[in-house]
Each structure stands twice: as C-alpha cells, then as structure tokens.
Amino acid sequence: MRQIVLALLLLATPALSGPALAGVEPSRLTEAARSQVGVTVTYDPAYISLAFPGGDLPRDRGVCTDVVIRALRDGLGIDLQLAVNRDMKANFSAYPSLWGLSTTDRNIDHRRVPNLQTLLTRIGAGLPLTDAPTPYLPGDIVTWTLPGNLAHIGIVSDRLGKDGTPLILHNIGAGTAEEDILFTYPMTGHYRLSAEAVERLKSLAQ
C-alpha cells in the first residue's frame, strides 16, 4: 500500500530545474543533497543493520531521511546516526514513542522523521511555519505529512520553481530529486541549522 501511495505522489510532483535564487549561495547542505540526484535512484524503506557510527545503506537506495543524513555527513561532517543515538540514550523520554521501543536502535532511530524533528527542535533549529516562500532559505530542512499519514523530510534548494517557490531536494519514492513540493503537502516543521545549532549537533556527534 505504501508503495502505491508513493507512486501516486510521484505523478503529482513533476521534477523541475528552476533558476538559482538570486543573491543566495547554495549551502553546503543543498550542494550535498543535490549531489545525491542520479546516485540514489531507489526508495527502499527496508530495515537494515548498519555499521556504527557512520553506518549507511548502499548509496543507490534509501528513504527521505537518508537524503538529510547523507547531506549532513557530506556537507557538514556531522553523523546524525551518532547524534540521534547519543541524545536518545540521554533523553529517551523526550523522543516519540510511536514504535513501542524501550531502548534505542542505532540502525533505524536516525532514519525516522519524528526523531529527526525532535533532535532538530532540541538543538534550537526550529522555526515558525509560514505560507510565504521568502523565509525558506537554501539548506533549511522541512517536514510534511503525506497522504496516508506518512512523515516526510527534505532540504530547501537554492533553485526556484516557475512561481518563485524554492525547490526541495528529497526522496519521495523514486530516488533523490529536486522538485517543487514545498507547499504541496501539510507542513509539520521548518528548521534552520544556525552556527549554534551546528555546534550542538557536532558536540553530539564527536
């Protein structure tokens, strides 16, 4: 059922390659996410045992969270697998209890959108939600709820759609792509990695 929903979503989100946002340089996160386009070509939600720290699936596959995980590793040298694991161990009750777990699981915790939302909020990266495109800057991280109550996450591009809305780098079902979907689905979170937030992440991932 999940794969059917994702296939339908793909039909509703055509790929675009708009002009760059004038006067704004692509962030290292944006560049690292864009480098995954054409490399990660499969959506694969299978549970896989990973090395720790620095564990990853083969780069040709993954889910939406893997776009963010790889962008943080490649662009900022931050291992979200380690950061989430350490913060969850120290503050387990602060994280969602959606999966009935009584302890951490370093193979999957960092690959779940609600856990990334919690971590980003806890490091002070959360921003107010708004319908205006201006506040969404390259490298910002956004989360949504897709049809079927599926949590989704992506990274804001430095490129714009035809109406001036920033594109999103994400994997919604057929690999990493750069698409105009910022306001397509109900938004649940908007995060920006300020220098202070990056330092907090780095302290968790060292």
Burial environment of residue 4 by CB neighbours within 10 A (0 to 12, 13 to 18, 19 or more): exposed
Tell me what pLDDT residue 79 has.
98
Q: Is the pTM for the entire model greater than 0.75? A: yes
Nearest to 80 by CA among 43, 41, 47, 122: 122
CATH architecture under which domain 2-204 falls: Alpha-Beta Complex (3.90)
pLDDT at 93 > cutoff 50: yes
Query: How far is C-alpha 1 from the chain's CA centre?
Result: 23
> What are the tens digits of pLDDT across the range 96-122?
999 999 999 999 999 999 999 999 999
d(CA 5, CA 78): 32
Where do the structural domains in the chain lie, given as residue ranges?
2-204
Tell me what pLDDT residue 42 has.
96
d(CA 173, CA 5): 9
> What are the tens digits of pLDDT across the range 133-181?
779 999 999 999 999 999 999 999 999 999 999 999 999 999 999 999 9
